[in-house]
Structure 1
Amino acid sequence: MFRGDVSTLARRRNAAHDGGADEISTGEERDYTVRAVERVCSILNLLQESIDGVSLIEVGQATELPKSSAFRYLWTLEAHRYVERDPDTGLYRLGLGFVGMQSRHLEVLRERARPWLEELRDEFEETTNLGILDGDHVIYVDIVESRNKVRSAASRGDRDPLHSTALGKAIASQLPDARVRDLLERTGMPRQSDNTITSIDEYMDELAKVRRVGYAVDNGENAPDGRCIAAPLLGTHLPVALSISAPAARFTLKDVEQAAKKLLDVADQISTNPVPEQRPVVEPA
């Protein structure tokens, strides 16, 4: 609950305006809370904390509103695109009205990450990437290309599968298992190469390893001749990850192990709220 913390002068002005000068003399602090706004904040907080969405009943319970009133709040927020309702499940999620705010956050993150992407590119002489989960795919937010004539590089704005990329694995490792399974069922996990993981259970086993070692590897799974290593950016409140990608012939599994420590360290530096103490010990891929 937010309470007004105003100066004595401001409170006197308010009291004079409201005709409540006697009330100020008691020394009691006014409560400037607007109940309707509080309920809207409660609804948005509830939706933000949910990956799969929330039901009308859950919204009513969180706001202590009857079902009909909760529906009117949601309907109004939906009309302004701050909430969207899944027509199949009936669950509510945050809507596109927040995209502009998130876009600005993402742009700030991209600007913060750019020098580190360049540093990684220069140290390992390979392409570096910043990616975010967009729907059920990974979209490339920024790319710093290797200076080698033969290089592995996508283009900014390109989309790649969640299941066959190191960026996708790194991002998925930070999502609830139920959400990951839902995304994989939606895409169908098409085979990109002979090494592509096409089983949900096998992929979940892979994510368990990613969570243990702290980074993900695409070992020729998205392209037969490619190899990539990625680490999630913790503390950014966005489903984002950082990666190094290269031709497999030049970027061996031994190189991946050597690059992992540096990648994890850079990921910590980029994160808006670095938490290096939470990073696991690097193990062989």
Structure 2
Amino acid sequence: MSPLATGRQQSNGKAGDNSGTDAVPQREERDYTVRAVQRVCAILNLLQESIDGVPLPVLAAETGLPKSSAFRYLWTLENHRYVERDPDTGLFRLGLGFVGMQSRHLEVLRERARPWLEHLRDEHDESANLGLLDGDRIIYLDIVESKRGVRLAAKRGDRDPLHSTALGKAIAAHMDTDRVKELLEQSGMEQRTPNTITNIDTYLDELAKVRRVGYAVDNGENELDGRCVAVPILGTRLPAAVSLSAPSARFTVQDVERAAAALQHVAEQLGTTHGSDDVPSGG
């Protein structure tokens, strides 16, 4: 983020003296810096340089702010989703409010994920998906559809609820609990099928299970005859996940664990800075 520039205003000089010598134009320097904005920029600049997050004492020391003042700035930015606090470590990092501004990061992720999605599709013969949290819903950034005549697949750009999808669960499991509650209250937790979780506490219990096993499952919760398994892409600044989806009659509960292992491998590659050397050529 660029530092706030200092504004300058130039005043025009008038005619010279009686000797005919032109007067030198006068420059009047004015500082238009807004102190509060300058402090916000300093905080955001520091956070964007960190992947894991920054503790409050370090942030206060680096920006020259008292801890109480730094906390008030962070609290305000958190309310507007530009900053988030890890509930376990207490570290502050950039929040989801910047996701819509990171179009280049999204495109890079999509480009890197495409061959992996094709590999997943060919290996499992089912639809592979790349999803991102956008507001209180999941948006499909990319989809590689199964080649089978009967398949379960959304379309790129489609949006689905956070609470009823495996992609949503995988992403929400690694978010701040209060933020998850806020999103669920905002979305309303519509009952898409008889299997949909519509209670916040039950959903939070489900997220605890996701964290424990390392993957999320949608068992006919978004589409009655569908099943989906998803794994979060950690190590990026984007709330994203990859998944495999199929008709439940063909994609059995026994298939889930094998699919989850494959998705975890893909997510690990996409979550690293440069990926690995064994990126598939696609299919």
The interval holding the TM-score normalised by the smaller chain is: 0.5 to 0.7
Higher normalized contact order (CA 8 Å, seq sep 6+, divided by chain length):
2
- Equivalents in 2 of 1:97, 1:260: separation in Å? 29
Amino acid at match of 1:160: D
* Cα pair 1:39 1:63 within 8 Å, conserved: no
What letter is aligned with 1:210?
A: V
Aligned match of 1:64: 65
2:122 partner letter:
D
Structure 1 residue 273, shift from structure 2 partner: 3.9
**TM-score with structure 2 setting the length:** 0.67
| CA 182–47 in structure 1, closer or farther in 2 if over 3 Å, else same | farther
Q: Judging changes above 3 Å, is the alpha-carbon distance between structure 1 residues 99 and 257 closer, same or farther for their aligned structure 2 residues?
A: closer
**How far does the alpha carbon of each residue in 1:188-208 deviate from its partner, in whole angstroms, 9 at most, with x for none?**
111000100011000000000
Matching residue's letter, 1:193: T
1:43 matches 2:48: no
Q: Return the letter of the residue paired with 1:64.
A: L
The 5 Å alignment of 1:77-88 reads: none
Q: CA deviation at 1:97?
A: 9.5
- Which structure 2 residues correspond to residues 12-23 of structure 1 after superposition, within 5 A? none
Conserved in 1, the CA contact under 8 Å of 2:127 and 2:146? yes
CA distance 1:184–1:145, change in 2 (3 Å) = same
Q: What amino acid is aligned across from residue 107 of structure 1 in structure 2?
A: E
State the TM-score, normalized to the length of structure 1: 0.67
Structure 1 residue 235, shift from structure 2 partner: 0.4
Distance 2:102 2:245 in 1: 26
Which aligned pairs between 1:264-279 and structure 2 lie closer than 5 A? Answer: 264-273=264-273
The match for 2:166 is 166
What RMSD, in angstroms, separates the aligned Cα atoms of the two structures? 3.6
- Structure 1's unaligned 5+ residue stretches are 1-33, 50-57, 75-84, 277-285
Aligned partners of 2:120 and 2:163: how far apart in 1? 24
Aligned to 1:235: 235
Separation in structure 1 between the aligned mates of residue 194 and residue 118 of structure 2, nearest angstrom: 32
1:257 pairs with 2:246: no
Q: Distance in 2 between matches of 1:133 and 1:100?
A: 10
Structure in which a larger fraction of residues adopt helix: 1
Q: CA deviation at 1:258?
A: 1.7
The verdict on how the C-alpha distance between 1:275 and 1:174 changes in structure 2, with shifts beyond 3 A counting, is: farther
What is the alpha-carbon distance in structure 2 between the residues aligned to residue 153 and residue 194 of structure 1?
20
| SS of the residue 1:212 aligns to | helix
2:92 alignment counterpart: none
Whether the aligned pair in 2 keeps the contact of 1:47 and 1:93 (CA below 8 Å) is no
Instruction: Confirm or deny: 8 A CA contact 2:81 2:96 kept in the other structure.
Output: no
Relative to structure 1, the CA distance from residue 225 to residue 178 in structure 2 (aligned partners, 3 Å threshold; closer, same or farther) is same
Shift of 1:64: 2.6
Cα distance in 2 for partners of 1:119, 1:47 equals 35
Assess if the C-alpha contact under 8 Å between 2:121 and 2:127 holds in 1.
yes
CA–CA distance in 1 between the matches of 2:79 and 2:261?
41
Q: What is the deviation of 1:42?
A: 2.8
Q: Mind listing any 5+ residue stretches in structure 2 that lack a counterpart?
A: 1-32, 51-58, 83-94, 277-283
Q: Quick one: distance in 1 between partners of 2:46 and 2:183? A: 21
Separation in 1, partners of 2:119, 2:80? 42
Rounded Cα–Cα distance in structure 2 between residues aligned with 1:271 and 1:107: 15
Which residue number in structure 2 is paired with residue 152 of structure 1? Answer: 152
Q: How does 1:122-141 map to 2 (within 5 A)?
A: 122-141=122-141
Question: In structure 2, how many angstroms separate the alpha carbons of the residues matched to 1:157 and 1:133?
Answer: 12
CA distance in 2, matches of 1:268, 1:165: 21
Q: Could you tell me how far apart the structure 2 residues matched to 1:96 and 1:220 are?
A: 28
Q: Which residue identity does 2:250 align to in structure 1?
A: R
Q: Give the counterpart letter for 2:174 in structure 1.
A: Q
SS in 1 for 2:130: strand
Query: What is the CA-CA distance between 1:112 and the residue it aligns to?
Result: 0.3
Letter in 1 for 2:135: G
Identity of paired residues, percent? Answer: 64
Shift, 1:274, TM fit = 8.4
Q: Is the 8 A contact 1:127 1:246 kept in 2?
A: yes
